[in-house]
Each structure stands twice: as structure tokens, then as C-alpha cells.
Amino acid sequence: MEESLMTTLCAHCPAWLRTLESCPLRAESDSLGWLMVLFSVIPYLVATLVSICLVMFRTTRFFILAVLLLTQQILNEFILKRLYRMPRPNGACATTFGMPSSHSAFAALTFTWVVLHLINDQTSRKWYSKMLNLLVVVCFYIPQPLSRLYLNYHSIEQVIIGTVEGILLGYVAHVIIRRVLIPNPQHQFWRLCARLNLANTMIEATQHKLESELAR
């Protein structure tokens, strides 16, 4: 009976929400369900925003973030899900494999990237500005894995594995950037960025901090 109801709700879900895998599986009066739909759509909005910022500002920071998000999606959708081949929970409004959760991986990757960036921020940004950025990240990204459970798109196991994947990917990327790329301004990666006419804001921020310390 419950599965039949879910199938009916899926059939009445707007096509664009089915495409984004963000259908509500409760009554229309379920405000929490629609809030979870909003959180579930956030990754698509963020990916669009990052792409727009990359085109507008053409900086290495946005370029690296875009590459990371693209890498995470390719890893999930074309490699890990095809290796695990684990179905989604019964009644989910999607027929693709569910292990690991791409939304959870996206949320964990973005959260890890932003937090580590704030911790190692080389600019003169005030502490309260960093805390505000952290608060925004927590409010927007932490509920995403919960939304996937609430909307019945993933099991707890799929969400946990996706979250661990995102954290590991974000941490590894941060270590590579801080310990390999930034100490070596002549690295091939930065040369590629120069060919793409991208402003190297990450190297510039490091140099700015060093100059400030030397001036003291």
C-alpha cells in the first residue's frame, strides 16, 4: 500500500523535479518535505553559480572548485555507482543506482573545501567574516544528506558512504593544492591556468600574506 502511494506521488511529481531527483514523497501540505526538496536542489544551483562565477571572474579558485565538483560527479555517476550497482530504496522516484549518494558527496566535498579554505585563508579577512561564511555553509550543506533520506532517494548506508567520499576528496584536493601546487608557482597546472587566462588568486593571496609578514 505504501509503495503504491509512493508510485502515485512520483507520477504526479513535476517533470523537472523528477529530472533533478528531488520529488517530495509526502502530501502537498508537508512543509518539511518541500524544505527538503529545496535542499535537494541546492547542488544544481551551486554548480550553476560556480560556472557563472568562473566565466565572469576567471580565477583559479573558481576553476579548481569547478574541476573538483565535476570530478566528484564523474567518480560517482560513471565509476562508483556502476561498481556497487546498489539499487535505491523501494519506492524511490528514480531508477538509477544509489550507492554512493551524489548529493551527500557533493555536500561533504563543498563543506570540507570551504572549511579548510577558511582555516588556511591567506587574506586579511576578519574572523567574523569567516564565521559568517562557515554558518552559511553549515546551514546550506549539512541538511542535504538528511534530505536524501527524507525524500527516500537513498538509504543511510548510501548517504554515509557518499559523505565519506566527499570528505576524502575535499581533503585530498586541499592537501595537493597547499603542499604541491601553491609552493610551486611554475607547476604545469598553473601554466594551464595561465593559458586559459585565469587570474591566479591562490598564489597571489599567499604572496600577499608573505609580504605583509615581511613588512611587520
Percent residues over pLDDT 70 in the chain: 85
Q: Are residues 99 and 161 in contact, defined by beta-carbon separation less than 8 angstroms?
A: yes
pLDDT band (50, 70, 90) for residue 7: low
DSSP string covering the chain? -HHHHHHHHHHTS-HHHHHTT----S-TT-HHHHHHHHHHHHHHHHHHHHHHHHHHH-BHHHHHHHHHHHHHHHIIIIIIHHHH-PPPPTT-S--S--SS-HHHHHHHHHHHHHHHHHHT--S---HHHHHHHHHHHHHHHTHHHHHHHHTTSS-HHHHHHHHHHHHHHHHHHHHHIIIIITT-TT-HHHHHHHHTT-B-HHHHHHHHHHHHHHH-
Q: Name the more confident of 88 and 140.
A: 88
Average pLDDT over residues 7-33: 75
- What pLDDT sits at residue 90? 87
Identify the bridge partners of residue 199 per DSSP, sorted by sequence position: 59
pLDDT of residue 21: 86
Mean pLDDT within 10-35:
78
Give the pLDDT band (50/70/90) at residue 25: low
Percent of the chain at pLDDT > 90 equals 51
Q: Is the pLDDT of residue 209 over 90?
A: no
The strand pairing partners of 59, in sequence order, are: 199
Span 143-168, pLDDT tens digits: 899 999 999 999 999 999 999 999 99
**What backbone phi and psi angles, to 5 degrees, belong to 199?**
-75, 125
Q: What local confidence, expressed as pLDDT, does residue 200 receive? A: 85
Other Cβ atoms less than 10 A from the Cβ of 200: the count is: 18
For cell 546498489, name the residue.
Answer: 86
**Cα 208 from Cα 123, distance rounded (Å):** 7
pTM of the model: 0.85
Say which residue the cell 591567506 belongs to.
Answer: 122
| Each residue's pLDDT tens digit, 43-100 | 999 999 999 999 999 999 899 999 999 999 999 999 999 999 999 998 888 889 999 9
Region of 37 please: left (phi>0), alpha (psi -120 to 50) or beta.
alpha
